[in-house]
A and B are shown apart, each in its own frame.
Chain A
């Protein structure tokens, strides 16, 4: 395949990675932005989302689409409730102290991971996509008769991957509208900016924290449900999303939601393109280099604000 079509193919792979990464990283960013909690267990909520998606899809049986829709609706909710429970049982009791929350979420990571290993087992398990038709993509070239378009061999994607991108865009826009246009969003933003004063105006800050922690984990679970028909569910799958989410959140600026989206697109696209042209390892090296450069030259991240 020539370079142009190959690049388009790689970009589409990158866009799928970016879409899932944007959802996952957004969850981490919201939790840090509102609660100032570095959630090291975020990747495990992603993993549990994927495992639950497998469980729900196989339990529902019937048509794959039915199982997938059930998984997309139920798994994020269950993961959200699980995370809210972790907040109430653990984080609240250590008073959201920044250092202790890191240790507590590391502990949570291992509890969730090992519990999944003991119950779900070590095998990777697939979830059938709800639809997965192959779509041939056209390529344009300047030929003897002006612009011509043709379908190069191998230049194709699947309808499901396009759905993942579209679904992520819709969910992120909905989230953005909810944060900026609704009363719940106002409560979240007020809590983010000054939790003491939010409390002085009757906002139950601890409840807001539980909801936000659940929302963050739920977003990771949505990402996982979307990705599990492309990859597979297994108990160690939370590592890469956690690492990439941290990279995205740091590059975008801690707690900055627009910054998170921009960084997810940058890192996701780079990951897809470099993985296709070179190797996935080189893609991770690139992402780590970018985060190192950002930390050196712009420690606040692309759109971050200094925290005081």
Chain B
């Protein structure tokens, strides 16, 4: 279980997060929603240690991650699929996966599992990452993250700019991860997608988590979407 407790963070002297708390449980999809600039991506970066915490704490299964060096955070079981994919563009598909497998024990089996999940990648193993289509790049970004065999998967707008068939595929994979008992933390702008797959939604505004609600309640009371997102 991933637990964020009143975290504060930002970029240099610019504080972006003032008080964000959330709990992501195994086998659940937790969605962070908010307007542009609310601090959704910053929250994911702070979890990964890519931005330093100036207050609060991040804990996984009761172990405080806040004091770990950033490169030890993924080893503790958190994988991150960033917005815009950020693949190692000059490396091949196989090499991108290999980077994901660097700290995984059962490399061959994990690689096969990932390639079974995204068969398209198997056909593109020797292709340079930046020559893939947008959908294939997203598959690779997710596959690379899953190579870590994480307990928690952080996804930042995974369906951004993708065609509908690819969005369905990504949604199916996210649901599979949920069924495999991963805790998924999702930043997503598409409300329909969130209402369909998420278990709980955390609304973030001006760097503060204001409310956590389960999606069932949100479907019954969509007023909150109007209130927090203006839609």
| Interface of A toward B, CB cutoff 8 Å | 183, 186-187, 189-190, 193-194, 196-205
Contacts and interface: CB of A to CB of B under 8 A. Distances in A.
Interface string B20-55: 000000000000000000000000000011100000
Contact of B71 (A189, A193, A202): A202
Contacts of A203: 71, 99, 102
B86 A198 contact: no
B154 to A, nearest CB: 9
Interface stretch (B87-95, B131-139, B168-176): B87-95
The prevalent SS among residues of A at the interface is helix
A184 B214 CA distance: 45
Contacts of B207: none
A151 to B, nearest CB: 49
Given A193-B89, A194-B88, A201 B74 contact: yes
Given A186-B95, A186-B98, A187-B102, A200 B89 contact: no
Nearest to A203: B71
21 contacts: A183-B102, A186-B98, A186-B99, A189-B95, A190-B88, A193-B90, A194-B86, A196-B50, A197-B82, A197-B86, A199-B70, A200-B48, A200-B50, A200-B80, A200-B82, A201-B103, A201-B148, A202-B72, A202-B103, A202-B148, A203-B102
B143 interface: no
Contacts of A199: 49-50, 70-71
A45 B95 CA distance: 33
Contacts of A201: 74, 99-100, 102-103, 144, 148
Contacts of A190: 88, 91, 99
B69 interface: yes
B88 A197 contact: yes
A204 B102 contact: no
A204 B69 contact: yes
B72 A193 contact: no
Given A201-B148, A202-B75, 20 more contacts: A186-B91, A186-B98, A189-B88, A189-B95, A193-B88, A193-B91, A194-B88, A196-B86, A197-B82, A199-B70, A200-B48, A200-B70, A200-B74, A201-B100, A201-B103, A201-B144, A202-B72, A202-B102, A202-B148, A204-B69
Contacts of B144: 201
A54 to B, nearest CB: 40
Interface in B87-144: 88-91, 95, 98-100, 102-103, 144
A12 to B, nearest CB: 36
A189 B91 contact: yes
Contacts of A189: 88, 90-91, 95
Nearest to A187: B102
Contacts of A200: 48, 50, 70, 73-74, 80, 82
- With a 10 A CB-CB cut-off, give which of B69, B70, B72, B89 has the most chain A CB atoms: B70
